[in-house]
Amino acid sequence: MQATDWNKTNLPPLALLWRYGGWWRWLIVALILIGGGVTLRQPALGLGLLVCAAALAWFFRNPSRAVAADPMSVISPVDGVVDDLAITDGSPWIQGEALRIGIFLSVLDVHATRAPIMGTVREVLSTPGTHRNAISPKAGATNQRNEIRLSDSAGRSVILRQIAGAIARRVVFAPQPGDAVQAGAVVGMIRFGSRAELWLPVSTGYVAAVWHGERVRSGISVLARV
């Protein structure tokens, strides 16, 4: 896959649904066709089906963002609320202490995942697990998840973790190891409510730029700086 595929920070209106919607996109099409067909005979049922289709399509929205491009900053990969901010260890690929920033996404948030830095995808690890409520920071160690290691031009590593939840049964990260990504590029999504985490090695100088409880927006909010 060419690196240019991951340079796009904004996609056409239905591109997120088409790329990462899976069988949900066909369900939406079916609801539209069935709803349109029964509206004349059973208006209430037909309208209900069309409303369900519109609600599902709205979930896969991907609003345009003016990405905060700064090589010394790490931007938020998702929309949501910072509910975990700690110095810890235990992340794959990081030796020693790491700054962990956890973000909880509700079902009402935009669920596109954006690259937190400009750099190269080094490793992608998909780990099976449970599907407990992702509102707890502990879900990152037990739930199904993708763990992605990226590095910037200076060799600094950033670990992105996409975590499935009780409703979000699938987390998708499209780039492969060796692919170059632009900061803010749409690289995947978490379907329905769940959480994301960033792990940043303290030894390379990363410090938090957000507060616990702060609402962040993907591609715009700066989470940490060198």
How would DSSP label each residue in the chain? --GGGG--SS--TTHHHHHH-THHHHHHHHHHHHHHHHTTT-HHHHHHHHHHHHHHHHHT----------TTEEE-SS-EEEEEEEEE---TT--S-EEEEEEEE-TTS--EEE-SSSEEEEEEEEE--B---TTSTTHHHHB-EEEEEEE-TT--EEEEEEE--SS---EEE---TT-EE-TT-EEEEE-SSEEEEEEEEGGGT-EE-S-TT-EE-TTTSEEEE-
User: Is 194 annotated as catalytic?
Assistant: yes
Q: Which of 91, 194, 218, 221 is catalytic?
A: 194
Among all residues, which ones are annotated catalytic?
Answer: 194
